[in-house]
Amino acid sequence: MIKKEDIKNILYFDVETAGGYRTHEDLVLENPRLAKLWERRAKYFRGNSPGMEDLNDSEIYSQKAGLEPEFGRVVCVSFGVWDESGSHRMTSFYGEDENDILDKSAKVLSNASAKGMKICGHNIKMFDIPFLGKKMIFNGLNIPPNLQLWDKKPWEVPILDTAEFFSFGSWSQKFLGLDLLACSLGIDSPKEDIDGSQVHGTYWDDKDYDRIKEYCERDVVTVMDVLKKVSR
């Protein structure tokens, strides 16, 4: 189990993403080569994702592009730590400048690594970390030490993934959603406003970056509360 004294030496974080372009039509106009590659991905989704069989490339783009770093963009990264009073202390980078978000996030992660802190989030091994790492490379940034995982043994990885923690070794249980996990533990839902499927429209159509930041921070707070609840 997690020791109570250890939860304060952890940097908690979450990443929110959207498609790299507002619409598939914008992608076609501004990056024809990438648009051709998207056609292949859309074909894959139509054949392998239930409910997408009859969707066109544009409809699939608005739903799926933000889940893949090659086609999406980082729109918010939120970090949380426990302060001395036992309260959540949050720092978020968000908005239109993806390179700035990534650069500032890399510095926070590097600082945490230098302090010997673990990093923690929900499903970060499957999504947040690979997405961040790839986007940092694509933007010409250095990868923080705690994201350099390609040559690490499992016991050398300074990461605590709550999705993995609650899987108890079962692959199927790794897909346990944070909202359901929070509900099972009697913790407030992080999805009280928008959820991940609405980030693309909130970013591109509404341009409500603060709303995305608040959603991202709620996810971080929920993970912090989950770990605190199960610590002994």
Per-residue pLDDT of the chain (232 residues; tens, 9 = 90+): 788 888 999 999 999 999 999 999 999 999 999 999 999 999 999 999 889 999 999 999 999 999 999 999 999 999 999 999 999 999 999 999 999 999 999 999 999 999 999 999 999 999 999 999 999 999 999 999 999 988 877 777 889 999 999 988 776 666 789 999 999 999 988 777 888 889 999 999 999 999 999 999 999 999 999 999 999 8
The model carries a pTM of 0.94
Helix (H, G, I), strand (E, B) or coil at 159: strand
CATH architecture of structural domain 4-15+74-230: 2-Layer Sandwich (3.30)
In the chain, what are the helix, strand and coil shares in percent, each to the nearest 5?
55, 15, 30
User: Is there a contact between 14 and 223 (Cβ–Cβ < 8 Å)?
Assistant: yes
Number of other CB atoms surrounding residue 171 within 10 Å? 7
C-alpha span between 9 and 85 (Å, rounded): 14
**Closest by alpha carbon to 21, among 80, 79, 71, 74?**
71
Domain boundaries along the sequence of the chain: 4-15+74-230, 21-70
User: Is there a contact between 161 and 121 (Cβ–Cβ < 8 Å)?
Assistant: yes
CB proximity list for 33: less than 8 A, separation 6 or greater: none
C-alpha span between 12 and 10 (Å, rounded): 6
User: Is there a contact between 223 and 2 (Cβ–Cβ < 8 Å)?
Assistant: no
Q: Which two tokens stand for residue 205?
A: 């159509």
**131 CB burial (10 A radius; 0-12, 13-18, 19+):** buried
C-alpha span between 12 and 221 (Å, rounded): 8
